[in-house]
Structure 1
Amino acid sequence: MGDPSEDLYTRLRRECARRADDLWEVGRALHANPEPAYEEHGAARLLAGQLRRAGFEVERGVAGLDTAFLARSQKGPGRCVALLMEYDALPDLGHACGHNLIAAAGLGAALALHAVLGEDSGSVLAVGTPAEERGGGKVALADAGVFDGVDAALMFHPGVHDWSWAPLTAQTQVRVGFHGRAAHPTGDPTGGIDALAALVQLFNTAAVVSRRLPPASHVQGIVTEGGTATNIVPAYAEGLFGLRAATTTALDSLVAEVGGWAEGVAAATGTTVEVTRLGRGYAHFRDSDVLSERFARHIARSGIRLTEPVGGVFLGSSDIGDVSVRVPAIHPFVAILGDGASDHTPAFARAAASGRGREVMLAAAEALACTAADVLTDAGLSARAWERLREQEAAGL
């Protein structure tokens, strides 16, 4: 071929295709042996072993996480691209989020780049990121500086839409505990202060006030402690609330607002209240449209057409957000089930081991490899991606 960039794409796609059976074997092995957050020892060992045998320098136990790893292919000076692999499963449902396909696609892209790129091409960093479903391995990795010096972080996610980027919100959890006074409900009907009644009132307040919250803002709670016996006025009651918002700044405001609701309820009910934010949570996802457009162009060669997300639709949260606010990042969705279906279901788990799952995994591996090659070989593209990230940060997006 006359165009060297096209020739590079062809070689990368050929390398992925040549490994298709092996990559699918990895994806099926992960699917058959699901491991929940922070317990993905078999998955990390399998993936890191594949990369080590291919010639990557592998470091296990990164950022204090036993099941995280880094695998680096260094080919001289230049830019660095990170390919992110998720592999934790859901309790009881297994790979009902398709993380086995994410891992196999990231592995395939990394191996293809290692095989095809010449000297002085920069470096490829394959990052094993545990605990996306609970805890956020990428948060710990980002805080530990893993993405310092990285010029792009790339991954894909199987889903029920073909979308070029992921509308993912910021999220955190808040624990609210009300303190009242125990008493016998009939023997001393005026002596008790019902902490559970206060907590119930907070739920009612949230239900009413949530109607006026901005788009993407959401409060959902459960009762974690509500008393010990029906003949004792509960002296303590506690709820756990999940909060989401369109941006990290909006989430901070929502946390403060929920705290205000709780204080108001406490004042009205004669209780006292403690509101505790449980960690920082996940940042919102900041899409690098410069790079996600490239991914969409590359995966179109496999017959998959990605579109913009439907306006006003948000699909939850992910720890990729904490990476995306640091470096240009992509997180496109590629459907393995049709519209109207949902992930986190038995049907989605089955799809993650289906023929369609295999097709999507291979197409994503090829597109990830080609997008990574673009970043490594095109200084102008990388500069535009960084400029766009700075613009988003300045605008609070």
Structure 2
Amino acid sequence: MSLSVEDDVVGARLRADVAQRADALWEVALALHEDPEYAFAEHRAAARLSGELDKAGFVVEHGVAGMSTAFTARSGRGRPAVALLLEYDALPGLGHACGHNLIAAAGLGAALALRSVLGETAGCVLAVGTPAEEGGGGKVLEAEAGVFDDVDAALMFHPGVYSWTRAPLTAQVQYRVAFHGRAAHPTGNPTEGIDALAALIELFNVLTSLGRRLPEASHIQGIITRGGTATNIVPEYAEGRFGLRAATNSALDALVAQVRAAADGVALATGTRVETERATLRYDHFNDSDVLSERFAAHLAHAGIDLTPPRPGIQLGSSDIGNVSTRVPAIHPFVAITDEGSDHTPEFAAAAASPRARAVLVASAGALACTAADVLMDASLRERAWARHGGGGESGGGGGGGDR
């Protein structure tokens, strides 16, 4: 049996099931919004979401990939299998200014509808609780732990200020660069000192020059995290942290090599010793499954929401969904909950609890459920998605959602 937009009996049942749950799903979204928790500490959110799935008959596993706030909830077994991704971490000081409360509630609603309508006969539905998207990389750890190894597709949506079929999300990583010099009195014995802070500042100058000739979507942003202890001591140690972004994984590799070379050159020129090391998990660029994104967009149109391709030249940030998309066909469409400003602002946090956000939540949950049913019930769709995924590689979506 196959489910399509033209022959949508199962889809209508799924959307109706989600609609019946609308009040309950909105209650979950508001509860998360009112009680924001941060990376790797989302204990109440994880308990609430996994508890709802457990009550519905899903088999819940806690502590996935060594993270106390990560979980999986499984309905059915074997293949085909589809994963619905639930994000629920908030931003310190801003709360749910990225709308993760809506992502979690939509994934929950889609999973519950699929079990209610399809039971366990169509394959496996896996709801995955993914902590710490905002810089911690919960999905990176889950992917490395094999959570997605037996999955045919990974699905989620992200609230935004655009309604786009896919997310232009870049590859991203942070590096720590530390210079070691020699302390001295700046006037008493200045020739004996080797100024580590001067070396770090010179690295900033070199990287500023490098930034003028980087390709589109490549970017370096640095801060000084340690720069000395007193003005009457030549700093013997200085440290900076640098965020690097690029449109693709290979472009990020090239950028990392350039930063390392620049740091080594500055150390040689200044007589310092330099250490350059990765300071965070790496987020891969997002490789969109256009086959599945188009299907999601068609289902979302039932609710009167039309998605368009992303505007050329706009990069919205980075997310750990990229690391999932390198392993399985994945979607990460944006659905607007406001038409002004940007996320990661107090205004967007307010929008994530607005009437429009409720409508987007219900519509997106229904479209996710229908797209997941397509994956489970349509072998030709799965084959096309996997075929396109195998050929996607570096041509995937480029770069927005998470550690944005």
Q: TM-score, normalised by structure 2?
A: 0.95
What amino acid does structure 2 have at the position aligned with 1:345? Answer: T
Q: How does 1:331-342 map to 2 (within 5 A)?
A: 331-339=332-340, 341-342=341-342
* Deviation by residue 1:81-123 (Cα, 9 ceiling, x = unmatched): 1000000001111000000000000000000000001553011
Distance in 1 (alpha carbons) for counterparts of 2:336 and 2:394:
33
Please tell me whether the aligned partners of residues 172 and 283 of structure 2 are also in contact (alpha carbons under 8 angstroms): yes
Please tell me whether the aligned partners of residues 78 and 120 of structure 1 are also in contact (alpha carbons under 8 angstroms): no
Aligned with 1:190: secondary structure? Answer: helix
Distance in 1 (alpha carbons) for counterparts of 2:245 and 2:208:
15
Distance in 2 (alpha carbons) for counterparts of 1:117 and 1:98:
29
* Deviation by residue 1:342-382 (Cα, 9 ceiling, x = unmatched): 11110010000111111111110010001001111110001
- 2:36 corresponds to which residue? 34
Q: How does 1:239-388 map to 2 (within 5 A)?
A: 239-339=240-340, 341-388=341-388
Aligned with 2:212: secondary structure? Answer: helix
Distance in 1 (alpha carbons) for counterparts of 2:250 and 2:185:
45
- 1:71 corresponds to which residue? 73
Displacement, 1:267? 1.6
Q: How does 1:143-158 map to 2 (within 5 A)?
A: 143-158=144-159
Distance in 2 (alpha carbons) for counterparts of 1:251 and 1:206:
15
Distance in 2 (alpha carbons) for counterparts of 1:372 and 1:396:
21
Distance in 2 (alpha carbons) for counterparts of 1:129 and 1:274:
32
* Deviation by residue 1:139-159 (Cα, 9 ceiling, x = unmatched): 111111110110000000001
Distance in 1 (alpha carbons) for counterparts of 2:36 and 2:17:
28
Please tell me whether the aligned partners of residues 77 and 120 of structure 1 are also in contact (alpha carbons under 8 angstroms): no
Distance in 1 (alpha carbons) for counterparts of 2:320 and 2:395:
21
What amino acid does structure 1 have at the position aligned with 2:40? Answer: Y
Distance in 2 (alpha carbons) for counterparts of 1:159 and 1:265:
41
Please tell me whether the aligned partners of residues 88 and 133 of structure 1 are also in contact (alpha carbons under 8 angstroms): yes
- 1:213 corresponds to which residue? 214
What amino acid does structure 2 have at the position aligned with 1:344? Answer: H
Displacement, 1:205? 1.0
- 1:112 corresponds to which residue? 113
Please tell me whether the aligned partners of residues 79 and 150 of structure 2 are also in contact (alpha carbons under 8 angstroms): no
Provide closer, same or farther for how the CA distance between residues 118 and 47 of structure 1 changes in structure 2, counting only shifts above 3 A.
closer
Aligned with 1:178: secondary structure? Answer: strand
Displacement, 1:393? 2.7
What amino acid does structure 2 have at the position aligned with 1:380? Answer: S
Aligned with 1:35: secondary structure? Answer: coil
Distance in 2 (alpha carbons) for counterparts of 1:27 and 1:354:
11
Please tell me whether the aligned partners of residues 171 and 322 of structure 2 are also in contact (alpha carbons under 8 angstroms): yes
Distance in 1 (alpha carbons) for counterparts of 2:394 and 2:132:
30
* Deviation by residue 1:225-246 (Cα, 9 ceiling, x = unmatched): 0000001110110000011111
Distance in 2 (alpha carbons) for counterparts of 1:395 and 1:162:
21
- 2:84 corresponds to which residue? 83
Q: How does 1:101-250 map to 2 (within 5 A)?
A: 101-118=102-119, 120-250=121-251
Distance in 1 (alpha carbons) for counterparts of 2:214 and 2:243:
15
* Deviation by residue 1:20-61 (Cα, 9 ceiling, x = unmatched): 000000000000100000000000000001011111111111
Provide closer, same or farther for how the CA distance between residues 394 and 319 of structure 1 changes in structure 2, counting only shifts above 3 A.
closer
Displacement, 1:135? 1.4
Distance in 2 (alpha carbons) for counterparts of 1:3 and 1:189:
76
What amino acid does structure 1 have at the position aligned with 2:54? Answer: R
Of 116-125 and 129-138, more deviation after overlay is shown by 116-125
Divergent runs of 4+, >6 A = 394-397
Provide closer, same or farther for how the CA distance between residues 59 and 7 of structure 1 changes in structure 2, counting only shifts above 3 A.
same
Displacement, 1:189? 2.5
* Deviation by residue 1:260-294 (Cα, 9 ceiling, x = unmatched): 01111112212121111124411111000000000
Q: TM-score, normalised by structure 1?
A: 0.97
What amino acid does structure 2 have at the position aligned with 1:65? Answer: M
Distance in 2 (alpha carbons) for counterparts of 1:393 and 1:197:
41
Displacement, 1:207? 1.0
Aligned with 2:276: secondary structure? Answer: strand
- Structure 1 unaligned regions, length at least 5: none
Distance in 2 (alpha carbons) for counterparts of 1:72 and 1:264:
52
- 1:15 corresponds to which residue? 17
Displacement, 1:77? 5.4
Provide closer, same or farther for how the CA distance between residues 333 and 4 of structure 1 changes in structure 2, counting only shifts above 3 A.
closer
Q: How does 1:48-63 map to 2 (within 5 A)?
A: 48-63=50-65
Identity %: 67
* Deviation by residue 1:54-84 (Cα, 9 ceiling, x = unmatched): 111111111111001110110x654101000
Distance in 1 (alpha carbons) for counterparts of 2:329 and 2:78:
20
Displacement, 1:19? 0.2
Of 195-204 and 267-276, more deviation after overlay is shown by 267-276
What amino acid does structure 2 have at the position aligned with 1:248? Answer: N
Distance in 2 (alpha carbons) for counterparts of 1:43 and 1:69:
11
Provide closer, same or farther for how the CA distance between residues 90 and 320 of structure 1 changes in structure 2, counting only shifts above 3 A.
same
